[in-house]
A and B are shown apart, each in its own frame.
Chain A
């Protein structure tokens, strides 16, 4: 999954560095007296929020306005353990309540229409942007070399009808917002809403989310401390993510699906998507989605498959090795690595008994098939091998049916 941050990380590590005005806040460990002092300072009102890596926390009840210290402490405790849409909160925090009559939505992202960065603004902030009418949202391209300047920002704000006395301060804020976006290697940053304070007309960033581009070195330069969120990734996904990031030679991408039957070793970004969808529709219950294409060298492929086997082979009902007709992935190299990892697994963990379905085409496919067949014969595993003349979706459907049969057989239904 991409590297994302939420409001709390923004408050703690980024906002002040880029001169963005934010509400004051206290962490979950704040003492009773600190909370009391803060609430007194803020006019007696605060907001408790769960720090959870999922959208729509307001609607889900993970954002709560509090009016006294007792209520604040109670909500901070409650929301620090809340679960929303299957995601567990990491912690909770208390922020200053900013009284405001106006809320603004802003986002900077890379836009497929302009093939570069863009700024999106709406004066109807604080709600789901998809619910705002299209004519009330403006998006402008930003020159990636020149960046966003205050004149451009003021132009879009004027066009949207922002009152004149706010245009200057909001334009400067948007320039700082851009500076943060471009200097930290983000691929998307959203503030929703900026609350324009009734007291001083300053825009306060009152909620935030961002996604970083892991391919951008700037992200690593920032030395950001990225908090770990519970239940966002499994041990397997975490280990595979590290392994994937350790090299750019070949893909080592997995995403767990919670299935229990087919262990899919798949090749190609497109093929892996299509095969996984087909397996799910046909009842193959794939354990994860994988993409191991991109012509991985032997060591890379061996390490990838070894990890998949160690985590999942014992429970799998069927091993599926499937990809389209490769353009540049060497089938013999990848299959040798899979065969060796399979043999090694048997040596370490003992006998296995599950059918293996293979479908592949591409460079050095013939020696690749011979290697795999010899290994499967030596391990005495049942197998069916298809060439590139059989569509991969038909192979996936067949694998799903066979896996269902094996599962029933193992459960003693047959």
Chain B
């Protein structure tokens, strides 16, 4: 191997060129690498010369038409000593030849990322590189990361390398690219960082053998521990173990060998090189080799290794049989050998579910497999919060619903609502609770919510016979219609203006609360102040109103404030809204949305939007009830925003339809036919008669 030190593979100051850099993956990875390491001096792609690849916050990466052009046009101090090959399989041989030809003076290492390179070409590449004195890693390597120098080639660490790769004392050498990243994360749980992460590739030939890396690790002061992920195929581990024995390798090795499941079966694993050809290339053969070298049984998490007899053995290392034991085993080696961890343990490795919804299994799962939601760690928790706020509610996937329903079903001859048998709902739940289930898909989280829904229905029954919805029922009765027609007439006489304010109120409330940290609308906590949010909303509205007035333009009113009847006092209340407010208070809760409305009408008066404190009307209260019920479902993206708006309207419409039925029954019994007719004499003529010739 040309590299005489581990940093000879990759270090700060190396100049990296990328072949086929405009390809989908090469471009994406190169931009991320450039942000992390800033070590790419250019790339080439046939027929794409003179392009540039933009990198946020940095100079763009120049693209040349050929490898030759790149080496000829880049200034001497930028000519690459590392080349990363991302070209398609059929082009790889040519690219390597060109890189060796034009980079003869500077080139030290070639990383072949491409997979599906034929084994014949792979061996030719090795032969050419050996002749040229250039190291070659791959084919099908994911790349290499040098954490202390903050540089990488390839995609090791993905788009956030710092998350997994914290500078430390472990060198990870892995047959799987993904495992480099995954194992680095597990090491963090032991308080151990990574020095180097190396993806060897796992094609039929691995062009830089394990033993070559171990030789470099032996001479590296920063590396205390080598962590290996090994698969079946090849004699690389046999060669390495023989070398370690012969040369008394001076670092402990922690190893996980995968792939024993293929033994005795006609199956193939994901990596092309995971092929058993002889006992020593099998997973169990490799396990045996390592176990013999270590002189200790595979790691047992309940064993006490803090005994003198283990010290010498753990200086050689140990094999783990379960991947997640790597963390504990690494820590055990450090503790037994009296070494300090690189940093405090960051997180414990355990089942930490981020999202759970067991649905029908909720009541069935035994305690041993029933998980409760865990804690989403940073930075993910903030990322989720941000993403969730960008789009409110569920963006439902569309499907053919002609003969399908989530809401109802007939299972074994019985009607179900969202999976619950109707008879059980009849026995155990109120109408309000069943309604919440049918409209939102979930039973109420709090008992008092069902009662609130029923209060909203009662409040909506009537606002007197003069309302246009009641008039609709009466007109229908007067015409001699059946009750269903009368109820339709009631609903036909509701709409955006009469009854629709609830939906508008929901939109208005969401607009004001969507950027807050509100989780529970009944216990909003100190972080969410209805008073502050209302103040800001009031000022914003005043600004809009003043500007509109000055321009002589119309403006959008705040929904559900003010009332044609309850408007005579300095401070006005709608008694139905007050009944709801008092009920919530009696339950020892708040409804932060209703509190917001109360604060808003007070602020309007204070800043001169109104002369009196307007009433918060019952439509607002209904909207606040339904929004509070739906808020957790909305934030968890379990229901759509449109559904919440509609619930607020339907919460009114359902009550009013029942009220219309009352008016119909009354009118049918006591009214006379056609009594809703207005005599012609009472109708005003607004248009003069005209003659038609």
> Are A130 and B279 also in contact (CB < 8 A) when A355-B361, A382-B361, A395-B351 are?
yes
Q: Which chain B positions have C-beta within 8 A of A294?
A: 115
Over the window 101-122 of chain B, the binary record of Cβ atoms lying under 8 Å from chain A Cβ atoms (1 yes, 0 no) is: 0000000000000011111110
Do the beta carbons of A277 and B261 come within 8 Å of each other?
A: yes
> Are A143 and B127 also in contact (CB < 8 A) when A273-B269, A325-B158, A384-B371 are?
yes
Do the beta carbons of A144 and B158 come within 8 Å of each other?
A: no
Do the beta carbons of A370 and B387 come within 8 Å of each other?
A: yes
Bound CA–CA A358/B258 (angstroms): 22
Do the beta carbons of A394 and B278 come within 8 Å of each other?
A: no
A280 within 8 A of B: yes
B523 within 8 A of A: no
> Are A253 and B270 also in contact (CB < 8 A) when A370-B637, A405-B366 are?
yes
Bound CA–CA A390/B327 (angstroms): 12
Q: In the complex, identify which listed stretch (B51-59, B202-210, B570-578) lies at the interface while the others stay far away.
A: B202-210
Q: Which chain B positions have C-beta within 8 A of A291?
A: 269-270
Do the beta carbons of A270 and B204 come within 8 Å of each other?
A: no
Do the beta carbons of A389 and B347 come within 8 Å of each other?
A: yes
Closest to B409 in A: A351
Identify the A interface with B (CB < 8 A). Answer: 1-2, 86-87, 109-110, 112-113, 115-117, 130, 143-145, 182, 185, 187-188, 213, 215-218, 232, 248-249, 251, 253, 255-257, 267-274, 276-278, 280, 289, 291, 293-295, 297, 323-328, 339-340, 343, 346-347, 350-351, 353, 355, 361-367, 369-370, 373-395, 398, 401-402, 405-406, 409, 414
Do the beta carbons of A270 and B396 come within 8 Å of each other?
A: no
Q: Which chain B positions have C-beta within 8 A of A255?
A: 267-269
- Could you list some 18 contacts between A and B, CB below 8 A? A2-B275, A130-B278, A269-B202, A270-B179, A280-B261, A324-B181, A327-B155, A327-B180, A353-B360, A362-B158, A362-B181, A369-B354, A373-B355, A380-B419, A382-B361, A383-B356, A392-B323, A395-B351
Q: Which chain B positions have C-beta within 8 A of A405?
A: 365-366, 369
Q: Which chain A positions have C-beta within 8 A of B123?
A: 110, 115-117, 144
Bound CA–CA A178/B272 (angstroms): 23
Bound CA–CA A295/B32 (angstroms): 15
With A215-B89, A269-B176 given, name 14 new contacts (CB 8 A). Answer: A112-B205, A113-B235, A144-B124, A182-B120, A268-B177, A270-B258, A277-B258, A339-B397, A351-B404, A366-B384, A378-B406, A392-B323, A393-B324, A414-B364
Q: Which chain B positions have C-beta within 8 A of A267?
A: 178
Within 8 A of A (CB), among B358-386: 358-361, 364-366, 368-369, 371, 376-377, 380, 383-384
Do the beta carbons of B119 and A110 come within 8 Å of each other?
A: yes
Task: Tell me, rounded to whole Å, the shortest Cβ–Cβ distance linking A144 to chain B.
Answer: 5
Q: Which chain A positions have C-beta within 8 A of B383?
A: 366
Do the beta carbons of B120 and A270 come within 8 Å of each other?
A: no
Task: Tell me, rounded to whole Å, the shortest Cβ–Cβ distance linking A366 to chain B.
Answer: 4
- Which size bracket describes the interface of B in this complex? 35 or more
B20 within 8 A of A: no
Pairs of residues from A and B, 7 with the lowest C-beta to C-beta distance, nearest first = A270-B176, A291-B270, A269-B270, A391-B324, A112-B234, A324-B182, A268-B178
Closest to A249 in B: B24
Do the beta carbons of A389 and B182 come within 8 Å of each other?
A: no
Do the beta carbons of B89 and A367 come within 8 Å of each other?
A: no
> Are A216 and B394 also in contact (CB < 8 A) when A144-B127, A267-B178 are?
no
Q: Which chain B positions have C-beta within 8 A of A350?
A: 404
Bound CA–CA A276/B259 (angstroms): 9
Q: Which chain A positions have C-beta within 8 A of B419?
A: 380
Do the beta carbons of B268 and A1 come within 8 Å of each other?
A: yes
Q: Which chain A positions have C-beta within 8 A of B538?
A: none
Do the beta carbons of B127 and A394 come within 8 Å of each other?
A: no
Task: Tell me, rounded to whole Å, the shortest Cβ–Cβ distance linking A147 to chain B.
Answer: 11
Bound CA–CA A255/B395 (angstroms): 35
Over the window 252-264 of chain B, the binary record of Cβ atoms lying under 8 Å from chain A Cβ atoms (1 yes, 0 no) is: 0000101111000
Q: Which chain B positions have C-beta within 8 A of A380?
A: 359, 406, 418-419, 441
Q: Which chain A positions have C-beta within 8 A of B205?
A: 110, 112, 115-116
Bound CA–CA A93/B449 (angstroms): 80
Do the beta carbons of B156 and A378 come within 8 Å of each other?
A: no
Do the beta carbons of B178 and A293 come within 8 Å of each other?
A: yes
Do the beta carbons of B117 and A215 come within 8 Å of each other?
A: yes
Do the beta carbons of A276 and B119 come within 8 Å of each other?
A: no
B28 within 8 A of A: yes
> Are A289 and B269 also in contact (CB < 8 A) when A145-B127, A248-B89, A377-B637 are?
yes
Q: Which chain A positions have C-beta within 8 A of B629?
A: none
Q: Which chain A positions have C-beta within 8 A of B358?
A: 355, 382, 384
Label chain A's interface by main secondary structure: mixed
Task: Tell me, rounded to whole Å, the shortest Cβ–Cβ distance linking B164 to chain A.
Answer: 6
B357 within 8 A of A: yes
Do the beta carbons of A387 and B176 come within 8 Å of each other?
A: no
B400 within 8 A of A: yes
Q: Which chain B positions have C-beta within 8 A of A409?
A: 364
Q: Which chain B positions have C-beta within 8 A of A268?
A: 176-179, 270
Bound CA–CA A257/B264 (angstroms): 12
Bound CA–CA A394/B28 (angstroms): 31
Do the beta carbons of B119 and A272 come within 8 Å of each other?
A: no
Task: Tell me, rounded to whole Å, the shortest Cβ–Cβ distance linking B197 to chain A.
Answer: 10
> Are A347 and B235 also in contact (CB < 8 A) when A187-B204, A269-B176, A274-B258 are?
no
Do the beta carbons of A384 and B158 come within 8 Å of each other?
A: no
B168 within 8 A of A: no
Task: Tell me, rounded to whole Å, the shortest Cβ–Cβ distance linking A372 to chain B.
Answer: 9
Closest to A414 in B: B364
Over the window 415-457 of chain B, the binary record of Cβ atoms lying under 8 Å from chain A Cβ atoms (1 yes, 0 no) is: 0001100000000000000000000010000000000000000
Do the beta carbons of B270 and A270 come within 8 Å of each other?
A: yes
Do the beta carbons of B351 and A390 come within 8 Å of each other?
A: yes
Do the beta carbons of A347 and B89 come within 8 Å of each other?
A: no
Q: Which chain A positions have C-beta within 8 A of B361?
A: 355, 382, 406
Do the beta carbons of B324 and A394 come within 8 Å of each other?
A: yes
Q: Which chain A positions have C-beta within 8 A of B209?
A: 112, 115
Q: Which chain A positions have C-beta within 8 A of B202?
A: 269-270
Do the beta carbons of A393 and B322 come within 8 Å of each other?
A: yes
Closest to B113 in A: A328
Do the beta carbons of B355 and A384 come within 8 Å of each other?
A: yes
Closest to B236 in A: A112
Most buried by A among B209, B267, B279, B380: B267
Task: Tell me, rounded to whole Å, the shortest Cβ–Cβ distance linking B257 to chain A.
Answer: 10
Bound CA–CA A289/B281 (angstroms): 21
Do the beta carbons of A340 and B397 come within 8 Å of each other?
A: yes
> Are A374 and B387 also in contact (CB < 8 A) when A215-B116, A270-B270 are?
no
Bound CA–CA A24/B88 (angstroms): 44
Do the beta carbons of A248 and B116 come within 8 Å of each other?
A: yes
Bound CA–CA A249/B355 (angstroms): 31
B626 within 8 A of A: no
Bound CA–CA A383/B239 (angstroms): 46
Bound CA–CA A361/B368 (angstroms): 26
Do the beta carbons of B258 and A390 come within 8 Å of each other?
A: no
Do the beta carbons of A388 and B235 come within 8 Å of each other?
A: no
Bound CA–CA A6/B359 (angstroms): 54
For A384, give its contact among B261, B279, B353 (CB under 8 Å). Answer: B353
Bound CA–CA A383/B377 (angstroms): 20
Closest to B394 in A: A374
Task: Tell me, rounded to whole Å, the shortest Cβ–Cβ distance linking B405 to chain A.
Answer: 10
Bound CA–CA A182/B123 (angstroms): 12
Bound CA–CA A394/B233 (angstroms): 26
Q: Which chain B positions have C-beta within 8 A of A86?
A: 266
> Are A346 and B176 also in contact (CB < 8 A) when A112-B234, A389-B352, A390-B352 are?
no
Most buried by B among A109, A353, A386, A398: A386
Do the beta carbons of A324 and B178 come within 8 Å of each other?
A: yes
Do the beta carbons of B267 and A289 come within 8 Å of each other?
A: yes
Do the beta carbons of B206 and A112 come within 8 Å of each other?
A: yes
Bound CA–CA A103/B203 (angstroms): 34
Bound CA–CA A326/B164 (angstroms): 11
Do the beta carbons of A375 and B397 come within 8 Å of each other?
A: yes
Q: Which chain B positions have C-beta within 8 A of A389?
A: 185, 347, 349, 352, 377
Q: Which chain A positions have C-beta within 8 A of B399?
A: 343, 346-347
